[in-house]
């Protein structure tokens, strides 16, 4: 429970109401601890609120379904979706975006679609986080915010597809649509960056350069398909240009959230057709400074939310890639711990110790 910004989370019992129409009760088995959770807990997120139950990178088993739920049944294994897919709104019907509009307004306020919450304490409502609230043993989530996945997938691995891993994979596969034989540069080797490296490999990129400050993370990038691993410094752009005949990379990906690195990613993109995909989330009030000449000479910049992944349709497909051995998920899990150690997971994240801590919530 996030009681107050800037203070440690508190593990406590709260009341959870039964699901209403179009909602599902999920017994959570595992949940990754993502930087977005820490960002909100710190108070840096201008749209944050408290009290709330944080967590959004979850996976579990359906326990109960509300009236009108047709796509899920008791016993189904599911991955939570902070980016839902109603399959009916103008955005869901378009292949140009994954930003479903169906419940966006209420979700951003911390409410379920009917404008209320299922969480409470002593009769006082507690708001949901990103429509999911997965730092818990049980949660109630809209049907359209759950992806049914293969029961063969271990849920402590499947949970990573709820946010970071899918975001990186999708940035390369969906947003950038990397072409075979191309040269890619990925800035940042956290979860999103490593997912982008894997996505570039799956798309058939010929050269994949990963740039990061950590040698340990760069080794993980090599395991995901990076052909070149470079320590990050102020000369990275020049090094990319030198390695590409002075032109730049066909595709660049920014996965750090640092605006200075975003600028490097733009500058490292190829003259004529280079595409820079920004997947990192910058700090409050920060802006990206881009020289217009870089755009006039053919470079493009785009953003990527959840990797352009339409969750209910595509997360199960990504999980199948893992089950077929095309994505190696195990190296991403650095620490496993019970819910009671969630603040320890935040400390490890701030120390950049590992890639993902996974909370083990139930058997």
Is the four-CA dihedral 161, 5, 19, 16 of positive or negative sign? Answer: positive
31 classed as catalytic: no
Of the residues 23, 31, 34, 299, only one is catalytic, namely 34
Alpha helices in 258-325 (DSSP H): 259-267, 292-296, 311-323
Whole-number pLDDT of residue 140: 98
Catalytic: 86? yes
pLDDT level of residue 283 (50, 70, 90 thresholds):
confident
pLDDT of amino acid 56? 98
Contact yes or no for 203/225 (Cβ under 8 A) = no
Exposure string for 178-187, b = 16+ CB within 10 A, e = fewer: beeebbbbbb
**CB proximity list for 246: less than 8 A, separation 6 or greater:** none
pLDDT at 292 over 80: yes
Distance of CA 79 to the CA centre of its chain: 12
Q: What is the percent of the chain where pLDDT is above 90?
A: 96
Here the tokens at position 340 are: 């009671």
151 is catalytic: no
Mean pLDDT calculated for residue range 201-218: 98
What pLDDT does residue 47 have? 86
Q: Which of 57, 143, 254, 267 is catalytic?
A: 57
> Could you tell me what percent of the chain has a pLDDT over 70?
100
Rounded to 5°, the CA angle 129-164-133 comes to: 15
Catalytic (active site) residue 56: yes
Would you call 356 a catalytic residue per the annotation? Answer: yes
13: exposed, middle or buried (Cβ count in 10 Å: 0-12, 13-18, 19+): exposed
Averaged pLDDT of the chain: 97
Task: Please tell me the predicted confidence (pLDDT) of residue 285.
Answer: 87
- What is the pLDDT, as a whole number, of residue 362? 83
Listed residue (143, 151, 204, 213) closest to 173, CA to CA: 204
Locate 272 and state its tokens: 């004529």
What gap in Å lies between CA 336 and CA 73, rounded to an integer? 29
SS3 content of the chain, % helix, strand, coil (to 5): 30, 25, 45
229 is catalytic: no
The catalytic residue among 31, 40, 80, 100 is 100
Match 């490296």 to its residue by tokens.
Answer: 197
Q: What is the pLDDT of residues 111-160, one digit of tens each?
A: 999 999 999 999 999 999 999 999 999 999 999 999 999 999 999 999 99
The yes-or-no verdict on residue 82 having pLDDT over 80 is: yes
Kindly give, in sequence order, each residue whose CB lies less than 8 Å from that of residue 120, ignoring residues fewer than 6 positions away. 14, 15, 17, 126
Per the CB < 8 A criterion, the answer to whether 286 and 263 are in contact is no
Among 257, 234, 236, 241, which residue's Cα sits nearest to residue 188?
257
Query: Out of 86, 159, 184, 210, which one is annotated catalytic?
Result: 86
Q: What is the pLDDT of residue 44?
A: 84
Tokens standing for 91? 């955005």
How many angstroms separate the CA atoms of 83 and 107, rounded?
10
Could you confirm whether 57 is annotated as catalytic?
yes
At 51-64, the pLDDT tens digits run 999 999 999 999 99
For residue 50, pLDDT beyond 90: yes
Q: Tell me if 131 sits within 8 A of 111, measured CB to CB.
A: no
DSSP element (H, E) containing 242: helix 236-243
pLDDT in tens, 153-209: 999 999 999 999 999 999 999 999 999 999 999 999 999 999 999 999 999 999 999
Q: Is 92 a catalytic residue?
A: yes
Q: Is the pLDDT of residue 351 over 80?
A: yes
């Amino acid at each position: 429970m996030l009681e107050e910004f800037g203070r440690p989370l508190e593990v406590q019992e709260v009341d959870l109401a039964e699901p209403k129409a179009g909602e599902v009760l999920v017994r959570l088995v595992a949940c990754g601890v993502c930087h977005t959770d820490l960002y909100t807990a710190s108070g840096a997120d201008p749209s944050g609120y408290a009290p709330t139950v944080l967590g959004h990178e979850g996976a579990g088993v359906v326990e109960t379904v509300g009236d009108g739920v047709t796509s899920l049944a008791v016993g189904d294994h599911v991955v939570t979706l902070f980016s839902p897919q109603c399959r009916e709104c103008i955005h869901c019907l378009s292949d140009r975006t994954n930003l479903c509009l169906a419940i966006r307004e209420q979700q951003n306020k911390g409410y379920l679609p009917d404008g209320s919450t299922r969480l409470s304490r002593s009769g006082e409502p507690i708001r949901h986080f990103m429509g999911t609230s997965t730092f818990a043993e049980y949660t109630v989530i809209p049907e359209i915010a759950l992806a049914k996945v293969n029961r063969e997938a271990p849920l402590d691995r499947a949970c990573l597809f709820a946010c970071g891993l899918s975001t990186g994979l999708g940035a390369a596969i969906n947003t950038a649509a990397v072409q075979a034989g191309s040269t890619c540069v990925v800035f940042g080797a956290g979860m999103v960056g490593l997912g982008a490296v894997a996505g570039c490999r799956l798309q058939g990129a010929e050269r994949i350069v990963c740039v990061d400050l950590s040698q340990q993370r760069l080794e993980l990038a090599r395991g995901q398909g990076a052909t070149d691993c470079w320590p990050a410094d102020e000369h990275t752009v020049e090094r990319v240009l030198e390695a590409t005949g002075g032109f730049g990379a066909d595709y660049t990906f920014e996965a750090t959230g640092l605006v200075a690195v975003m600028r490097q990613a733009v500058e490292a993109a190829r003259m004529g057709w280079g595409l820079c995909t920004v997947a990192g989330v910058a700090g409050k009030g920060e802006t990206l400074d881009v020289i217009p000449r870089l755009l006039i000479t053919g470079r493009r910049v785009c953003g990527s939310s959840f990797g352009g992944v339409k969750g209910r349709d595509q997360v199960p497909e990504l999980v199948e890639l893992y089950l077929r051995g095309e994505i190696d998920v195990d190296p991403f899990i650095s620490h496993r711990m019970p819910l009671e150690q969630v603040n320890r997971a935040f400390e490890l994240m701030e120390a950049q110790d590992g890639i993902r801590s996974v909370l083990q919530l139930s058997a």
